[in-house]
Copies of this chain bind each other. A is one copy, B any other.
């Protein structure tokens, strides 16, 4: 498992490859789509690139033309998954008018979208868990974007006079991020289910009390 890269596949690198550009892009998407299906049925950890190649009907070498490793495929699937959560969270924030309500909806959307996306499909959860525990780039970038999103809402609330301004902004961002982290990070979320349904309301109320000017 995971050693396929060295299994002498280099001689098979003669598969027809279409001209660079849109066509490559299509193949890449096709592989990603098929891999998502396959992982979600058989699991990420157990599947090798050989399994994947067989299932899709491509040669292993052909898949390696587009993706250097299974992790890169997993990382791209994971990035898509995290982008989906992020889009849902952004939409929830945009729906609200005032910063306090934006923050409340942000918490609610984070919990709901994470629970749905990570656990709708137990097998896809494996990818997200690998991403979080091995600190893949996709997971780190997601954490940063969520912190930035939080900072934007806090800044708006400071400008509007809804939130206090005495505490340094970066300290406030980090502390609130730590509060919501158990529901953002799939490794923590799996142990926070019992509390997830009430958590977003209780925690956002606490955070809003902490932000009152």
Residues of A near any B CB (own CB < 8 A): 132-133, 164, 167, 171-172, 174-176, 178-179, 181-182, 185, 187-188, 191-192, 195, 198-199, 202-203, 205-207, 209-211
> B residues within 8 A CB of A195?
178, 181
CA distance A209 to B208 in the complex (A): 10
Query: Of the candidates B132, B172, B182, which one forms a contact with A182 in the assembled complex, judged by CB atoms under 8 Å apart?
Result: B182
Given contacts A181-B182, A182-B188, A195-B178, contact A167 B209 (CB under 8 A): yes
Query: Of the candidates B171, B188, B198, which one forms a contact with A191 in the assembled complex, judged by CB atoms under 8 Å apart?
Result: B188
Could you name 13 residue pairs across A and B whose Cβ atoms are closer than 8 Å?
A133-B191, A171-B202, A171-B205, A174-B198, A174-B202, A178-B195, A179-B179, A179-B203, A181-B195, A182-B182, A182-B188, A207-B210, A209-B209
Q: How far, in Å, is A77 (CB) from chain B's closest CB?
A: 21
Q: How far, in Å, is A118 (CB) from chain B's closest CB?
A: 14
B202 touching A178, Cβ below 8 Å: yes
Q: Chain A: interface secondary structure?
A: helix
> B residues within 8 A CB of A175?
202-203, 205-206
> B residues within 8 A CB of A209?
164, 167, 209-211
**Residue on B nearest A185 in the bound complex, by CB:** B191
> B residues within 8 A CB of A205?
167, 171, 175
CA distance A132 to B164 in the complex (A): 38
> B residues within 8 A CB of A192?
181, 188
CA distance A47 to B55 in the complex (A): 41
CA distance A96 to B186 in the complex (A): 37
Q: How far, in Å, is A204 (CB) from chain B's closest CB?
A: 9
3 closest pairs, A vs B, by CB?
A: A210-B210, A209-B210, A175-B206
CA distance A72 to B24 in the complex (A): 59
